[in-house]
Amino acid sequence: MHPERQLEVLEQCPAAKLVALDTMRDFIVSHRATLQQLLQRSDLLFANEAELRALLPTAPADSIQAAREALMRWQLQAVILKLGARGALAVFASSEVHSPPFPGPAVVDPTGAGDALAGGLLGRLAQLRRHDDVAITLALTDGSAAARQAISAFGVDGLLESCG
């Protein structure tokens, strides 16, 4: 969703208990100011390494250190690094947790894996009714499992197969 629309939605939810942001590299370049406003109001940032570098062009080359810089700059609770075939990594102020990729059949369509990771993680946090670091660590596994299902077929078929 366009960053300006995201900000409009967020302004309609002043009592939001948890705000997660997942952006695209194109918006990082074209709408940086609006994205900065969103980041300042977010708790979690989902980003792949290229998106993180685009957000923080002067950050250290090490992805964990770059994520920690993002944590401090925008006062985030966690950065969830989407690592593709290497899984995902939750980076907190003083620790990080790696979730390796789930085993499964060959990758059919990687489109939407990051969205499935975010959706699975946030869905689990909603079930847990909390979002502390331990809960995020637990939910990361669910997010990784959802990402694995998403890439097992074209479109949403992999996710739908896991429901039925």
Give domain limits for the chain: 3-163
The residue to which tokens 């039925």 are assigned: 164
pLDDT tens across 83-139, in order?
988 999 999 999 999 999 877 777 667 678 889 999 999 999 999 999 999 999 999
- Per-residue pLDDT of 54-89, as tens digits, reads 999 998 899 999 999 999 999 999 999 999 889 999
- Total-model pTM: 0.90
Domain 3-163 in CATH: superfamily? Ribokinase (3.40.1190.20)
Give the residue numbers annotated as catalytic, written as ranges. Answer: 115
